[in-house]
Amino acid sequence: MAEFTLELNDDQKEVRDWIHGFAADVIRPAAAEWDEREETPWPVIQEAAKVGIYSLDFYAQQFFDPTGLGIPVAMEELFWGDAGIALSIVGTGLAAVGVLANGTEEQIGTWIPQMYGDAADVKVAAFCSSEPDAGSDVAAMRTRAVYDEVKDEWVLNGTKTWATNGGIANVHVVVAVVDPEAGSKGHASFIVPPGTPGLSQGQKFKKHGIRASHTAEVVLEDVRVPGNCLLGGKEKLDERLARARERAKQGGGVGAPPAEGRGRVKNAAMATFEASRPAVGAMAVGTARAAYEVALDYAKTRSQFGRPIIDNQGVAFQLADMRTQIDAARLLVWRASWMAAANKPFTAAEGSMSKLYASETAKKVTAQAVQILGGNGFTREYPVERMHRDAAIYTIFEGTSEIQRLVIARTLSGMQIR
């Protein structure tokens, strides 16, 4: 187990500087254009693939960094470049995490490479969990998966929403209900291979921020997938459902969490989100840091009443608070990432803590950056306007700030707080 340290090693520094260079030279110059176009920046993704940033090997190396800091360092630098483009580059990772969290070794080896493609033929993947009536309330999910025993196929029907890369992905990972009576324990994840009949893109959303990232509905109409596309396999699913039914017989209720769960419900979607929360926190840190740096430079060069505006405490103290909050958010992200790599349980919901604080920090810091730039900050001539719009997503996706607080409160109290 790697010791926790705040000092990056030489390899980590080299990777950080390499990604920062790509973000500065390739992502930032393209950010405003793709934000206006509201389209997937395929040329930028292809450039990332050519240099090795968009690849299974790169993410595997960062994911298996024994210190746990590989992913958060990479995410912070990419999102420092631009949140929308960066999400297009890393959005496939959520689907990959879904497979890693729930799949067998064979499924991991088969499907994750197909999610990325290669530099000559770039692919993307989508993780489909949220639904029109089931966002934070994952237990309200209606998408159904029914097993056809004769053909050894699963038949999926339903509509997913807010899916990054939804409809344009090569591989879709879909969370569906296999046993409605089992509550959240009756959910499972499925691979929908490329070209599967019955899967189509629904509405593409025109968004407030992260507009270079494709977000859409995914419609599933009698989508048939082979039995081996159930992540984890049917034997494992049947065992889990049997345990849930046994608890129900003992009076715990089918959907009730086990006592050792300390109030946290475990299922296919939640396993994916829990693993990715510190990474989302790192994304928020990158956006906050970018806005802070713009505001700091502006405050040192913008003069009013014969002196730089940073000479005024009202501005200088804001910048001091911004930097303090950014560093605090990064520390929470690094702690959670190290704990996950060291297989230390989140006994105080440290993953949710990191995502909550970093997300709220990004919203606050980008708003302060706009304020420091004044009228200029309100225009698209300066990037803080875009950064402020982008930051709004961090308190919403992959668990709203309210849900993070609920998870933390339940974990600390052991109670099913509502």
**What is the C-alpha to C-alpha distance for residues 400 and 176, in angstroms, rounded to an integer?**
21
Sorted by sequence, the CB contacts under 8 Å of residue 259 that are 6+ apart come out as none
Q: 40 near 213, Cβ under 8 Å?
A: yes
**What is the C-alpha to C-alpha distance for residues 42 and 23, in angstroms, rounded to an integer?**
15
Q: 386 near 310, Cβ under 8 Å?
A: no
SS3 at position 204: strand
Q: Which one of the listed residues 217, 360, 385, 398 is annotated catalytic?
A: 398
Strands in 129-250 per DSSP E? 144-148, 153-164, 171-177, 187-192, 199-204, 215-226
Using CA atoms of 66, 71, 77, 80 in order, give the dihedral in degrees to the nearest 10: -140
Q: Is 105 a catalytic site residue?
A: no
- Burial group, residue 258, by CB count within 10 angstroms (0-12, 13-18, 19+): middle
Q: Which of these, 250, 265, 263, lies nearest to 183 by C-alpha position?
A: 265
The token duo for 216 is 């859409």
Q: 191 near 173, Cβ under 8 Å?
A: yes
DSSP string, 277-290: HHHHHHHHHHHHHH
Adjacent-strand bridge partners of 164: 215
Sign, CA torsion 332/336/338/344? positive
Instruction: Please state, in angstroms and as integers, the Cα–Cα distance from residue 13 to each residue in 7, 274, 335, following that order.
Output: 9, 27, 18
HSE (CB half, 13 Å, CA atoms) of 37? 14
Q: Which of these, 193, 173, 354, lies nearest to 272 by C-alpha position?
A: 173
Give the residue numbers annotated as catalytic, written as ranges: 398
